[in-house]
Amino acid sequence: MCGGGGGDDPKEMESKLALAEQAANALQRYGSTFVPLENAYIQDTLNQFGQPAYDRSMAAATTQTAGIYEGGLRDLNRGAFNRGFDPMSGAFQGESNALRSAQARGMGLAGADAGLGNTDAAYQGLANVIKMGQGLQTEAVSGNIERLQSSVDRAGSQAERDFARSSSIQNIAGNAVGMGARYGLGGGG
Amino acid sequence: MLDPSVSNQVQSFYFPNPENDANRGVPQYTGQNYNAYSNINPNKYRGMDKRDNPGDKLYADLIRAQTRDYNARFAPVESFMANEITATGTRSLAGDLSRTRGSVMDQGANVQGMTNRANERFGLAGNSSVGSGQGQVSALVGGLNDTKLRDQDRRTSLLTGSLSGISQKARGVGK
């Protein structure tokens, strides 16, 4: 008979078992160290769909937006009184009400935007979980601070426009240019 | 006087019940205590005859453990994501609309209160209509439209890629 058939089954190479044992050790270590961390991350991501997560991000955005407008309104009042404006005058009331309305809109929409950002972040977190499960690399998740800041940045830009549009404030301050910068409205910082 | 059914619709639109399904709560994760790798014994096949392929057997154990791990911890998350997709957007839309509405309405009332207090400090009547009326409705409509558009974008991302692209990956498993 030729071709060397028959005889005993071939022996598996020693290194194959050694490699499998190495992989088993690595998986054990992964199981004891990283699986609990991954599980905590998955639960944290799901918690982001809960009302407390929305409340935190929305409240922070509206509070910071309120602060952006309050500084400008305080300066409006100070400037008006220094020039002898009567707070009961129609001009002062009209301007103040217009800015307060803008503040209401800015705070409401900044809060809404922060809520939408929270939903986006929750889905992004779950997308990362799926990538983890499929052995794909994870992407950096933008954190709470970054998301909040983008909502507040938008609110700050809107506030700048609201104050810049306000002709009475420009008259009071005597300068039609750079109102936002003067009131410290540069991006909510 | 509004028709009672119309009145109810208006009431539920502007002041939605926080207990309704728009507030669906936190999805429960069932795999949190699962560790598929805790029972792996790296030395299980040591000493076995090499003709019985002990390395292959151990590898097979590892692959089975990884499959169990995937099924227990990650497949439910994939299913959750897939279930989030609706014909027009995602299941988060109802909650997002409710929160957008609440934010615009609440902040309108909040600023109205602030304005009234400021007016009262000047000795003026605290009956300002700031934060309500046309400006508020305009902000509300803009906010609701933005919410719907963001939700449609989210659906597209879930299906096609930047947010996981789950359908392509499901098709790619096993290749």
Residues B69-112: pLDDT tens digits? Answer: 888 888 888 888 888 888 889 999 999 999 999 999 999 999 99
- Distance in Å, alpha carbon of B3 to nearest chain A alpha carbon: 30
| Closest residue of chain B to A110, computed from CA coordinates | B103
Span between the terminal Cα atoms of chain A, in Å: 88
- Identify the pLDDT of residue A92: 78
- Distance in Å, alpha carbon of B10 to nearest chain A alpha carbon: 20
- Identify the pLDDT of residue B109: 92
Contacts with A99 (C-beta within 8 Å, 6 or more apart), sequence order: A69, A72, A73, A76, A162, A163, A166, A169
3-class DSSP state for residue A13?
A: coil
Give the best-scoring range by mean pLDDT among A5-14, A20-29, A131-140. Answer: A20-29
How many residues does this entry show for chain A? Answer: 189
**pLDDT digit string (tens) for chain B, length 175 residues:** 667 777 776 666 555 554 455 566 778 787 778 888 888 899 999 999 999 999 999 999 998 998 888 888 888 888 888 888 888 899 999 999 999 999 999 999 999 998 888 888 878 777 778 878 888 899 999 999 999 999 999 998 888 865 555 555 555 544 4
Per the CB < 8 A criterion, the answer to whether B106 and A108 are in contact is yes
How many H helices and E strands in chain B? 6, 0
Cα separation values, A28 from B70, B164, B171, Å = 15, 28, 29
- Identify the pLDDT of residue B108: 92
CB pairs under 8 A between A and B: 223
Average pLDDT over residues A46-56: 91
